[in-house]
Amino acid sequence: MFDGPSVGRLARSGALVAILICSVIHATGCGSSNSSSTVTTGPPPTITPSGTSTITITMTATSLTQQPLQLQPILLTLTVK
């Protein structure tokens, strides 16, 4: 059904295509060679005030018969020093 040379040629072609795709992906990550660069600064850091907070997670669910399930809330304590 397949001849030896055509299968080998197909394998080499597939390998070359894979190398080409990897090369293009790698080259796009290099960036540009523009000599003028602009430094951008992000927003100032957010400072979380110290203290203790309680976080409540409330869940809802229904059974297969569409009856609401009684689920207890989860209480978490967040302490920032």
Cα–Cα dist 61/54, whole Å:
23
Place 32 in a pLDDT band, splitting at 50, 70 and 90.
low
- Nearest one of 13, 79, 8, 11 to 50, comparing CA atoms: 79
Which tens digit of pLDDT belongs to each residue from 57-67? 999 999 999 99
Name the 3-class secondary structure at 1. Answer: coil
| Distance in angstroms (rounded) separating the CA atoms of residues 35 and 31 | 12
Confidence (pTM): 0.38
Amino acid at the residue 10? L
